[in-house]
Amino acid sequence: MKRMLDLVVAITLVIALFPMGVIIACLIKWQLGNPIFFIQKRPGLKGEPFYLYKFRTMSEGTDSGGELLEDEKRLTTFGNILRKTSLDELPQLWNVVKGELSLVGPRPLLMEYLPLYSAEQMRRHDVKPGITGWAQVNGRNQLSWEKKFDFDLWYVDHASFWLDLKIIGMTLLKVVKCDGINQASNLPMERFQGVKSSSGDVG
């Protein structure tokens, strides 16, 4: 049922939103040039890597030493709009069609975070990652890492077809209201540094 829901909704949206996607791609090409897509390796089900697709939102501006500028200096006005409206995530519908993502599940984070998770946090990879999830409809970037993982693990333990429908509905409401994103810059939250043990070590 979950895979059927993913395919029906994703294919319908790909067809319905294709003209909008073409317009967004043309605007990115005009504003930022190539590449149009941001492609990055992320951990999927059981931590197996796949390539996640997004519309590009940042320039490739560098400093005098040739190093990329900070994210907040590379995020363009148009890119900020794409992030605020979640339109930058439209290409992930193709990940859903390919079976790498689900519509609903814990968001796929960075590959470099895998060694930093506790055994309990690693359980977030027991289900397929999603475009949206229980953490996203309960605070998104406003949550601490610990709280975000708590919501992810709650979803792993309670996942169902009806819960997915509820999360999809809540996501649509949040997208319409542009709710749950850091209002200052719409940039991602700080990087995950791992879990501190009682001795103060990070593991």
State pLDDT tens for residues 99-110.
999 999 999 999
d(CA 61, CA 189): 21
pTM for the whole structure: 0.84
In the chain, the N- to C-terminal Cα span, in Å, equals: 37
Between vectors from CA 84 to CA 3 and to CA 7, what angle results, nearest 5°?
A: 10
Ramachandran quadrant class, 13 (left: phi over 0; alpha: psi -120 to 50; beta: rest): alpha
pLDDT of residue 178: 66
Query: 3-class SS at 102?
Result: strand
pLDDT of residue 1: 86
Specify the residue for token string 């509905």: 169
Can you read off the two tokens belonging to residue 169? 């509905």
Does 199 have pLDDT greater than 60?
no
pLDDT of residue 129: 97
pLDDT of residue 197: 41
Q: Which pLDDT band holds residue 8 (cuts at 50, 70, 90)? A: very high
d(CA 91, CA 95): 7
**143-177, pLDDT tens digit by residue?**
888 999 999 999 999 999 999 999 999 998 887 77
More confident residue, 188 or 190: 190
Average pLDDT over residues 124-130: 97
Considering the chain, what is the average pLDDT of its residues?
Answer: 86
